[in-house]
Amino acid sequence: MNLLRDNKYSKLEIIFLCLGLTILATFILNIGSLIIVLLPDFSITNLQIIGVGISMIVGFILTPTILLHRLIGFNYSAIYMFSIKRFLIYIVIIFTILLFFSIKIEDIIHPFVVATCEEFLFRGLFFSLLLSKFSKFKAILIGSLIFSLLLHLNGNFVGNFLIKFPTSIILYLIRDKVGLQESIVVHWLYNLFITKILS
């Protein structure tokens, strides 16, 4: 995808754009989470899932897509690299299996929303944006560093570098070799697995 190869933006400006959009996405997510916490009845789990879902969609999908289009004319459409039919088949199969094993619906939906939004931003938008100025290897490396060390800044630095950085590289490779929907599914299953181990 050579959408921006001939533009006036430098490699450094593209990196800073990815960094800024990551910070903005995280800020919007935190504002959404804060609003949920400040609501009178915080114990409603469904409201939490809806609030986080909305703030993630706004912060990780809508805002970056609109800003990239308005700021630099970057037109990204996941439709071209996304098989909705395959994605829906994956979702139905995984939901059915997880519900069969009596996993609560909120424990399925939250990791799904997180994986979908993070994958759209990093393996969708950022990967295409970074590929416009960098080789595939460098784009994956830069995107994985931003994903593991900036997006997950609230975690342990060493843990992020040793676990989330290689995981991010694997997700980029899956996105590149198979498709965005597969990287979303793998990320979703990874989040489900980690959530169940840590709880």
pLDDT tens for 163-193 read: 999 999 999 999 999 999 999 999 999 999 8
Does the pLDDT of residue 91 top 70, yes or no?
yes
Q: What is the pLDDT of residues 34-46, one digit of tens each?
A: 887 777 665 556 6
Q: 55: which residues sit within 8 A by CB, 6+ positions away?
A: 28, 29, 31, 32, 33, 35
DSSP-derived letter for residue 80 is: G
What is this structure's pTM? 0.89
Average pLDDT over every residue of 104-131: 92
Rounded to whole angstroms, the Cα distance separating 148 from 126 reads: 14
Domain segments of the chain as ranges = 11-198
How deeply is 67 buried, as exposed, middle or buried, from its count of CB atoms within 10 A (0-12, 13-18, 19+)?
Answer: middle
Q: 195: which residues sit within 8 A by CB, 6+ positions away?
A: 107, 111
> By percentage, how much of the chain surpasses pLDDT 70?
89
User: Comparing C-alpha atoms, which of 108, 94, 103, 110 is closest to residue 54?
Assistant: 110
